[in-house]
Structure 1
Amino acid sequence: MVIIFLFMLTIGILEVIFPKRMLMLGNKRELKKEEEPSELFINITRVGGVILIIIAITFAFGAFT
C-alpha cells in the first residue's frame, strides 16, 4: 500500500514540476527536435499531475485510517 501511494505521489509531483519531460515519456508521436509540445498539452499534463496527487492522498487517507 505504501509503495502504491509513493508511486502515485511521485509521478504526480513529477508531472507538475517537469510537464514537458513527462509528456514526452508518454507521447507516442515523434516530435522533431526543434518542435516543442503546445502549451495546451503541457497544461493538461500539469492538471493530470494535480489530479494524481489528489488521488494519491485520498488513497492514503482511505487505506491507512
Structure 2
Amino acid sequence: MEELQSKVEELQHLLQEKRHQVHKLDLEGRRLQEVMQGFQQQELEQKGKEESRRLLYQMLTR
C-alpha cells in the first residue's frame, strides 16, 4: 500500500511539473505571437510608406 501511495505522490509531482511546463510554454507562445504581430505591423507600415512614396512620385512626375 505504501508503495502505491508513493507512486501516486510521484505521479502527482510529475503532473504538477508538466502543468508548470505547459504554463511556461503557453506564456512563451503568447509572447512570440505578440512579437510576430509587431513585425507584421511594421511590415504593413513600411508597405504603406512605400506605396505613399510611389504615389507621390507618380503625381510629381506627371
TM-score of the superposed pair, with normalisation by structure 1:
0.42
Larger Rg: 2
TM-score, normalization by structure 2: 0.44
